[in-house]
């Protein structure tokens, strides 16, 4: 089995092939270089003279020959459009297809400067072509290297080797160096996909009853009471005490089996225990599978402020089994839908179109994970771009705190917070559409159980506040979300008041 690299022009597939082949012990091959040697002229010249159809025909024939001759662990870098032909798609089916997922603006910067790309002369056309191909890259791939960077392909090679021929799709953050395995039934292969040596299991009572009976059999464990009220320093101390009792060493690791509360609490405990041990995230709720299990934010709540005590602690690995969602109560699935809508607004493109059509498929979950990993790769410590992931969370977290973490689930509060953010963004039509998407899944669109002043006091305590106040995330449209906006106090009050009807 060979490895085949796909991705847009300028993604860096050739250099990636060289690094990955060296790590895997195979040879690096490049279809563009081989095709230019065969043609005896630059691709751009042939493309301009003969047209795209003739070029794709020559490219397909060459790639089929390269794949037929490829040996175990060879790595072939394809041209950006090669995967669009039926013949190439059929030929790569017997190999591992890896999408080199470089941001499109980086691709444009590289491709437009080279002068060798016949389809990289017009910026608007370049971005439109990327959007046209993006969904195919994502859904055809067996593995996705998110935000790739030179010198970081050794860990990806190790993750690919561990995956083997498994059907679980692999996403790999080359900035965070951790694998994300996504696939129905993959929980049954946890120990094959992820190093669980010295595991200590943290879960909640409901999840362990439904899913964890045979998981990591014999491993020490602790169960917590389900719900946000368990995300406290007192509960963290109980986890640490149980780990000491079980003689967990620095060579051990926590396996967090549960939703966002379990993941945040267990990640925080891992970050602090003996000054840091690994954590494996196994998210069982929709909120956790599309959002909270990635990016390394861990922590617990204080009585008056959510997520005030915590640490950045990237996971060792994340294993996502969509089959686990089947046992979720309807209200929990609805709560997760709010994070799906939020992520789709940030991503735009095919993901937004799928979500606005009401889809919740494995591809949608995959698209959400990819979006989260790509944003975090740009800004791990929340100093800039990562703040877009807080869309709806400033008011949402304030609602949770103002109601004592009892009235609203996290996703329900985020749903209300998104509507407030869209009001602040002055996007009435989009607010109406998002409100309908939320209401269709049973999410609240009207705030009850607290006062405007209570919410505003909690907003003022938001952990992102600085000397100029609390910055907000605002929306220009799907795919056009920006952080750091300063909003007048009276506008925030009006947005919260509107939630109360």
Task: Return the residue matching tokens 């009006």.
Answer: 494
Residue 251 lies inside a defined structural domain of this protein: yes
pTM of the model: 0.94
**403 shares a domain with 272:** no
Residue 354 lies inside a defined structural domain of this protein: no
Helix (H) or strand (E) holding 476, with range, is strand 472-477
**466 shares a domain with 320:** no
**26 shares a domain with 115:** yes
Which whole-number Å values give the CA distances from 344 to 244, 282, 351, 360, 409, in the listed order? 42, 22, 5, 11, 20
Residue 29 lies inside a defined structural domain of this protein: yes
Residue 105 lies inside a defined structural domain of this protein: yes
Residue 267 lies inside a defined structural domain of this protein: yes
**195 shares a domain with 51:** no
- Structurally, how many domains does the chain consist of? 3
**Which ranges of 116-200 does DSSP label H, i.e. alpha helix?**
123-140, 153-163, 190-193
- Whole domain around residue 206: which residue ranges? 186-327
Would you give per-residue pLDDT tens digits along the chain (501 residues)?
899 999 999 999 999 999 999 999 999 999 999 999 999 999 999 999 999 999 999 999 999 999 999 999 999 999 999 999 999 999 999 899 999 999 999 999 999 987 778 888 899 999 999 999 999 999 999 999 998 887 789 999 999 988 877 778 999 987 778 999 999 999 999 999 999 999 999 999 999 888 867 789 899 999 999 999 999 999 999 999 999 999 999 999 999 999 999 999 999 999 999 999 999 999 999 999 999 999 999 999 998 889 999 999 999 999 999 999 998 999 999 999 999 999 999 999 999 999 999 999 999 999 999 999 999 999 999 999 999 999 999 999 999 999 999 999 999 999 999 999 999 999 999 999 999 999 999 999 999 999 999 999 999 999 889 988 999 999 999 999 999 999 999 999 999 999 998
| φ and ψ at residue 225, rounded to 5 degrees | -75, 135
- DSSP state letters, 353-407: HHHHTT---HHHHHHHHHHHHHHHHH-TTSSSGGGGGGTTHHHHHHHHHHTTTTS
| φ and ψ at residue 29, rounded to 5 degrees | -120, 155
Report whether 418 contacts 342 (CB < 8 A). yes
CATH number of the domain that residue 398 is part of: 1.20.1090.10
327, 343, 361 — which closes off a domain? Answer: 327
CATH number of the domain that residue 155 is part of: 3.40.50.300
**156 shares a domain with 253:** no
CATH number of the domain that residue 241 is part of: 3.40.50.1970
SS3 (DSSP) at 472: strand
Residue 353 lies inside a defined structural domain of this protein: no
**155 shares a domain with 10:** yes
Q: For residue 283, give the nearest of 273, 274, 293 by alpha carbon.
A: 293
Residue 115 lies inside a defined structural domain of this protein: yes
């Amino acid at each position: 089995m060979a490895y085949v690299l796909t991705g847009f022009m300028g993604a860096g597939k050739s250099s990636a092939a060289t690094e990955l082949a060296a790590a895997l012990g195979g040879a690096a091959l490049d279809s563009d270089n081989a095709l230019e040697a065969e043609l005896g002229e630059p691709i751009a010249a042939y493309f301009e003279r003969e047209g795209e159809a003739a070029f794709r025909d020559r490219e397909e024939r060459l790639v089929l020959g390269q794949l037929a001759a490829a040996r175990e662990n060879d790595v072939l870098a394809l041209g950006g459009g090669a995967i669009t032909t039926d013949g190439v798609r059929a030929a790569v089916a017997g190999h591992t297809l890896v999408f080199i997922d470089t941001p499109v603006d980086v691709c444009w910067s590289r491709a437009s400067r080279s002068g060798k790309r016949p389809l990289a002369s017009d910026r608007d056309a370049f971005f439109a072509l990327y959007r046209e191909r993006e969904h195919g890259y994502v859904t055809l791939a067996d593995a996705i290297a998110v935000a790739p960077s030179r010198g970081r392909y050794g860990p990806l090679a190790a993750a690919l080797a561990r995956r083997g021929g498994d059907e679980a799709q692999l996403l790999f953050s080359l900035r965070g160096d951790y694998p994300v395995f996504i696939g129905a039934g993959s929980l049954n292969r946890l120990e094959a996909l992820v190093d669980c040596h010295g595991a200590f299991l943290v879960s909640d009572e409901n999840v362990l009853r439904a899913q964890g009976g045979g998981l990591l059999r014999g491993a020490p464990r602790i169960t917590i009471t389900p719900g946000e009220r368990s995300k406290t320093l007192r509960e963290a101390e109980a986890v640490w005490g149980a780990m000491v009792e079980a003689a967990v060493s620095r060579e051990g690791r926590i396996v967090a089996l549960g939703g966002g509360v379990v993941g945040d609490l267990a990640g925080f405990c891992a970050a602090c225990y003996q000054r840091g041990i690994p954590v494996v995230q196994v998210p069982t709720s929709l909120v956790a599978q599309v959002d909270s299990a990635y990016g390394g934010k861990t922590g617990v709540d204080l009585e008056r402020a959510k997520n005030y005590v915590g640490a950045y602690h990237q996971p060792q690995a994340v294993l996502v089994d969509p089959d686990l969602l089947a046992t979720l109560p309807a209200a929990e699935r609805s709560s997760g839908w709010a994070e799906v809508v939020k992520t789709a607004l940030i991503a735009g493109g095919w993901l937004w179109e799928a979500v606005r059509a009401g889809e919740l498929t494995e591809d949608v979950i995959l698209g959400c994970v990819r979006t989260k990993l790509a944003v975090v790769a740009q800004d791990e410590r929340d100093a800039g771009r990562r703040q877009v992931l807080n869309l709806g969370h400033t008011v949402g977290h304030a609602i949770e705190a103002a109601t004592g973490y009892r009235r609203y689930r996290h996703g329900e509060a985020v749903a209300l917070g998104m509507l407030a953010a869209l009001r602040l963004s002055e996007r009435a039509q989009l607010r109406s559409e998002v409100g309908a998407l939320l209401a269709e899944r049973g999410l609240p669109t009207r705030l009850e159980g607290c006062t405007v002043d209570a919410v505003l006091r909690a907003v003022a305590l938001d952990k992102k506040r600085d000397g100029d106040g609390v910055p907000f995330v605002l929306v220009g449209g799907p795919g056009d979300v920006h952080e750091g906006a300063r909003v007048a106090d009276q506008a925030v009050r009006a947005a919260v008041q509107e939630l109360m009807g």
